[in-house]
Amino acid sequence: MPADGSANSSNAAKPLDLDDLSYKLSSDLVTLNDRSPVEAEAIRTMRTHIMARHVEDGRRGLAFCAPTGEVGCTFMAANLAVSLAQIGIKTLLIDGDLRSPSIEKLVQPTTPTQGLVQCLTSADQHPYDLIHPEVLPNFSILFSGGIADNAQELLGSERFKDLIDRCLRDFEFTIVDTPPINRCADSRRICTVVGYSVIVAKRNITYFADVNMLAAQLEEDGAKVVGTVLNEV
């Protein structure tokens, strides 16, 4: 952890030791259980579209973003990642929300671990030492590693671009969860680096105008919007 306090000390993470780690999987990973078959089937339908219109065209990554919070962006990103892994695609899920990370609520390691923050703040840290491989078959995770006070600077760095480029090359598919656009500009940067994005909206919460505005902003930044997902739950 850097001495300048760029990462919040109250969220300090321990070095990764795979031998000591196990994971508690949330029931919100609906593609792994029968708790919500309708939601699980909707995720699989989204997977089919992503496979046909994205993966088979050689595209290797997506950033999930939303105009506001509480619309299920993390839920969609994580479940799609698991769903892709289930059909044999080597998938990496990255928690790109360095302000209010949520992936650990769905896949909780037995102890907090380092992750994206440490990858971006330590010149000596090899990023692949912090990726949790095979949390499930074909499913790996790079957790956030805590909260960063200088998240925008870290995500705007060349180191972040290099990391994403490497992940897109080495994994068959990389999915990045991002913070809501109304809270910060981080997601716009992430979507630009990844190159392709999906906008998540929620019935009776998200305004159509906000989706249009976010889509226009992303296209202006050079991030192609491949679709919008309506979360009804």
List of domains in the chain: 40-231 (3.40.50.300)
Distance CA 169, CA 213 (A): 31
Residues with Cβ within 8 Å of residue 221, at least 6 apart in sequence: 188, 191, 192
Helices then strands, counting H and E runs in the chain, come out as 8, 9
pLDDT digits (tens, 9 = 90+) for 139-151: 999 999 999 999 9
What are 112's two structure tokens?
């907090």
Q: Is the pLDDT of residue 10 over 70?
A: no
pLDDT digits (tens, 9 = 90+) for 56-96: 778 899 999 999 999 999 999 999 999 999 999 999 999 99
Distance CA 137, CA 87 (A): 10
- pLDDT given for residue 183 in this prediction: 87
pTM of the complete model = 0.90
Q: Is the pLDDT of residue 8 over 90?
A: no
145's torsion region: left (phi>0), alpha (psi -120 to 50) or beta?
left
Q: How far is CA 32 from CA 36, 79, 84, 158, in A?
A: 10, 9, 12, 36
Q: Is the pLDDT of residue 2 over 70?
A: no
CB 70 within 8 A of CB 182: no
Percentage of residues in the chain having pLDDT higher than 70: 91
